[in-house]
Amino acid sequence: MSANDALHIAVLGGDGIGPEVMAPALDVLRKIEAPAGLKFRFTEAPAGAGHYKETGKSMPESTIRLCEEADAILLGACGLPSVRYPDNTEIAPQIELRFIFDLYAGVRPARLIPGVPSPIVGADQRGIDLVVIRESTEGLFASMGKGVVTHEDARETMVITRKTSERLFEFSFRLAERRRARGKPGMLTCVDKANVFKAFAFFRGIFDEIAKRHPDVRADHLYIDATAAALVKRPWDFDVMVMENMFGDIVSDITASLIGGLGMAPSADIGDKYAVFQPCHGTAPDIMGRGKANPTGMILSAAMMLDWLADKHGIESAAEASETIERAVDQVYAGGIKPMEFGGNNGTADVAKAVLAAL
């Protein structure tokens, strides 16, 4: 693909504040389009609890076909507490898309932006800049919808396969190498519980095999409990971490909390061919329609999308556009903008307007 071709982006606004934060992200992409020499074609489609309530499906087949045909997928937050499947589980197209398109690598960056408060003492001086890579199709989540519940007990099964683990670790080492080339430490930590569970010992063994192919990356291991303790004491010691699905679900929320909260945290679910980009936060129905949602996580997810498209298609200007968006966000927060979750009074429109002005 050349930079003169239009990049087709599937846009799934989702539920609650999902559409509210999606709109500024699309405005940012439109703003960066011409200066970067890029062209975008956005196609919107339904997905989420609202669609399920109306039709009995979380996504129509047309949405899945659109995602299959698009160059990338932008997804707003999905799900509502009041709308559930008959088994009382949440409507979660974001999880369904991972399985449909084999998006095995959940990428959750956590970078403390200047001017954003962190609960960790000294973080503003030491800095936080790490990436959690969460395996997204196996682990404990492989039991989703398949667990067995009786009157006496409930059982879910964790699944870890060699095929997916090898792809996950290759992806993780390549990411660490790319970060090293950009001046980061280039260190990869395998987070597991290999001292207790055979499945995690298997996981760690495959990690060690793949590590031999990447001698320039410093590879190590850490148990999940020790990782959690270290993250809330010395988060600046970490660079890239890779882990099983459920561990990654929990750890990525911890790391988001270290950089100002879920409203600041972007994410991606990436496979060999497809990728979905969305903020880490939920649908926040309590503030829906009130203009209070922080769009930063969604805007930074769009920047992640550009970086992935650059890597996939070799479009250097897309990578530069991604960095430009990140710098604009940094400038806005360093300048003193304060979203409502930080105790400020800057709403969705304020943050969006400031980022567009910085661009």
Q: Which residues pair with 190 in a beta bridge?
A: 221, 242
Q: Environment class of residue 238 by beta-carbon count within 10 Å: exposed (0-12), middle (13-18) or buried (19+)?
A: buried
List the structure tokens of 59.
């996504």
Residue type, 88: N
DSSP, collapsed to helix, strand or coil, labels residue 79 as coil
Q: Give the whole-angstrom CA distance, residue 191 versus residue 184.
A: 20
The residue ranges of DSSP E strands in 202-324, in sequence order, are: 218-223, 240-243, 266-270, 275-279
Q: What is the pLDDT of residues 42-94, one digit of tens each?
A: 999 999 999 999 999 999 999 999 999 999 999 999 999 999 988 888 899 99
pLDDT band at 3 (very low <50, low <70, confident <90, very high): very low
Q: Environment class of residue 286 by beta-carbon count within 10 Å: exposed (0-12), middle (13-18) or buried (19+)?
A: exposed
Give yes or no for a contact between 226 and 118, defined as CB atoms under 8 angstroms apart: no
List the structure tokens of 124.
């503003």
Q: Which CATH class for the 118-144+155-258 domain?
A: alpha beta
Q: What is the pLDDT of residues 238-280, one digit of tens each?
A: 999 999 999 999 999 999 999 999 999 999 999 999 999 999 9
Q: For residue 87, what pLDDT is reported?
A: 83
Q: What is the pLDDT of residues 155-207, one digit of tens each?
A: 999 999 999 999 999 999 999 999 999 999 999 999 999 999 999 999 999 99
The kind and range of the H/E element at 218 are: strand 218-223
Predicted confidence (pLDDT) at residue 2 exceeds the cutoff of 70:
no
Taking the model in full, what pTM does it have? Answer: 0.93
List the structure tokens of 300.
């930074």
Q: For residue 72, what pLDDT is reported?
A: 97
Closest CA to 9 of 359, 356, 302, 328: 302
Closest CA to 107 of 231, 264, 241, 227: 241
Q: Give the whole-angstrom CA distance, residue 245 versus residue 242.
A: 10
Mean pLDDT in residue range 317-346: 95
Fold topology of 1-109+260-359? Isopropylmalate Dehydrogenase (3.40.718)
Q: For residue 341, what pLDDT is reported?
A: 87
Predicted confidence (pLDDT) at residue 5 exceeds the cutoff of 90:
no
Q: What is the mean pLDDT of the chain?
A: 95
Predicted confidence (pLDDT) at residue 1 exceeds the cutoff of 60:
no
Q: How far is CA 123 from CA 113, 127, 185, 254, 289, in A?
A: 10, 5, 17, 15, 34
DSSP β-ladder status, 240-243 and 187-192: parallel
Report domain extents, the chain.
Answer: 1-109+260-359, 118-144+155-258
- Which percentage of the chain shows pLDDT scores above 90? 90
Q: How far is CA 78 from CA 96, 185, 282, 349, in A?
A: 11, 35, 7, 21
Mean pLDDT in residue range 211-225: 97
